[in-house]
Amino acid sequence: MNLANSSQIPRFEHKQFHTPYKVDSMEAVILDHYLRGLIKPSVPITMAEQEISELFSKRYPGVLVHGTDVNTIVTELRRFYYDCGYETIGEMSPDFLSKSIALSVRSIFENVRDTGVLPSGFPYIGPGADMYFDLIHSSGYDVSRESLNDYTDFLATLIVNGTFYENLIFLGMGDGAEISATLNSLSESVTKKIKSITMVDMTLSGMKHVVNKFKTDPTITKLPDLEIIGRVSRFEDVKITARRDETYDGNLYLWIGKTSGNFKIKEYINILNGFTADGSSVVTDFGIYQNVDELNRIKSQYEGEGNREFLLKNLITILKDLGCDDCQIRQVYDSFRVSLLPEPDFQTFISINSEVTLPNSVVGIVQDRFGFEVPNDITLMQSYRRKMIDLIDVLQSYGYSLNQLYRVKGKNDIFTLIERKSK
């Protein structure tokens, strides 16, 4: 397999091929290692010095962490990473790591301070990725497999209608099943024309899981010229430049799994604007609803103990490290609840909100550590369900057309191809 190679991109080496990983969200990488407890000699460095330098300098100019400014932290990184030639995190300065982690944790609480919501994708970082993979592979979990069948049915209509793209970008690659299903849905003559597949996800560990799976997947290995790239990034941060030639029809972003519902509609449109600025198109699915009874059924599923543990695991890890005691942690855990909240500007767009309340004592601990207050009530995750007609109207009002609209039989899900309208 011929995969892209660049000295500027941190990468893991596998027996059969090299896979490059471009890092757009350094906090995600740092937190992934931190939450997994992987600060030990066997762990490769996966953080590019230049990108960490830019991140810290832009996001935290002049900020003091444990009494040290960001420039000093970056200088430490240069010294350890370049001058000493260290190859593992365990060999790096524990003091530097503690400062890096502190900056990353700070960014989480800044998001909570500003929006009342944990950063998108936060529960999936670190061990959350393993919990997710265990869930979708459990014998009693049919949702993922059913959604995959719905997706391939829609994809078949897309192919029949002649739409073709050379570069496929998967936003949240799951366990790689959607990528394999996409290639299996295409004819051999079409798959040979695909130049690249880019996986965008918050977790580097999740990408390694998928790449290892691909090493023995005949759907992938039979395409020796296919370029596969991993991007560690939030969807809001990713920037992928379209590569054009005389036959080029734009990038195709595949944003499936209803993760578009984790964003308010204007946030979603802002992300969409970035993806389609160069003429690219987006395949996405939406959760829709017709009445409140449907929403209440979904709400009851979100109230399950497994969902509570999944959404709270990373937050509790951080709160414990900040110094919260068992009693404070229990208060946070027991305050978990799920509610239905309309989006302020679009009352028919309803968020299934998973929430907790931070006791005043916990808010005080955060303030003492970072110098600002966070609200007591915070949202762990939001998952929007929308009225289909209103959704179409809003997207069209922002200059988008929904082509190949496909409603899943017997379900409140739709798939569609979204493109900017021609001016």
Q: DSSP 3-state assignment of 27?
A: helix
**Assigned domain for 138 exists:** no
**Assigned domain for 5 exists:** no
- pTM equals 0.80
Structural domain count, the chain = 3
Q: Comparing C-alpha atoms, which of 38, 30, 10, 40 is closest to residue 22?
A: 10
Q: Is residue 296 located within the same domain as residue 279? A: no
**Assigned domain for 310 exists:** yes
For the segment 208-235, the average pLDDT, to the nearest whole number, is: 82
**Assigned domain for 240 exists:** yes
- Judge whether 26 and 249 are in contact, CB under 8 Å: no
Q: Is residue 264 located within the same domain as residue 405? A: yes
Give the domain-ending residue among 70, 97, 115. 115
Strands (E) located in 58-176: 64-65, 68-69, 167-171
Domain that holds residue 93: 25-115
What would the pLDDT profile of 377-395 be if each residue is shown by its tens digit?
999 999 999 999 999 999 9
**Assigned domain for 128 exists:** no
For the segment 31-37, the average pLDDT, to the nearest whole number, is: 73
| Opening angle at CA 48, ends 42 and 49, nearest 5 | 110
**Assigned domain for 124 exists:** no
pLDDT band for position 149 (50/70/90)? confident
* CATH (domain of 244): 3.40.50.150
Q: Is residue 100 located within the same domain as residue 156? A: no
pLDDT band for position 162 (50/70/90)? low
For the segment 358-375, the average pLDDT, to the nearest whole number, is: 95
Q: Is residue 158 located within the same domain as residue 264? A: yes
Our CA dihedral for 167, 171, 174, 178, rounded to 10 degrees, sits at -40
For the segment 325-331, the average pLDDT, to the nearest whole number, is: 97
Cα–Cα dist 210/98, whole Å: 29
Q: DSSP 3-state assignment of 208?
A: helix
Q: Is residue 271 located within the same domain as residue 339? A: no
Q: Is residue 257 located within the same domain as residue 157? A: yes
The better pLDDT of the pair 29, 246 is held by 29
Residue reference for tokens 């009494």: 67
Q: Is residue 181 located within the same domain as residue 107? A: no
For the segment 59-69, the average pLDDT, to the nearest whole number, is: 63
Cα–Cα dist 250/243, whole Å: 8
Cα–Cα dist 277/14, whole Å: 35
Q: For the chain, how are helix, strand and coil distributed in percent, rounded to 5?
A: 45, 20, 30
Q: Is residue 378 located within the same domain as residue 394? A: no
The better pLDDT of the pair 299, 102 is held by 299
Q: Is residue 223 located within the same domain as residue 260? A: yes
pLDDT band for position 143 (50/70/90)? very low
Q: Comparing C-alpha atoms, which of 388, 362, 390, 367 is closest to residue 377?
A: 362
- Report strand pairing: 281-287 vs 251-255: parallel
What would the pLDDT profile of 74-119 be if each residue is shown by its tens digit?
666 555 444 444 454 445 555 666 667 777 888 899 999 999 999 8
Mean pLDDT of all residues in the chain? Answer: 78
Q: Is residue 277 located within the same domain as residue 181? A: yes
**Assigned domain for 19 exists:** no
**Assigned domain for 393 exists:** yes
- What is residue 48's DSSP assignment? -
- Judge whether 47 and 257 are in contact, CB under 8 Å: no
Cα–Cα dist 204/31, whole Å: 10
Q: Is residue 276 located within the same domain as residue 407? A: yes
Q: Is residue 280 located within the same domain as residue 403? A: yes
Residue 388 half-sphere exposure toward CB, CA atoms < 13 A: 17
- Judge whether 39 and 264 are in contact, CB under 8 Å: no
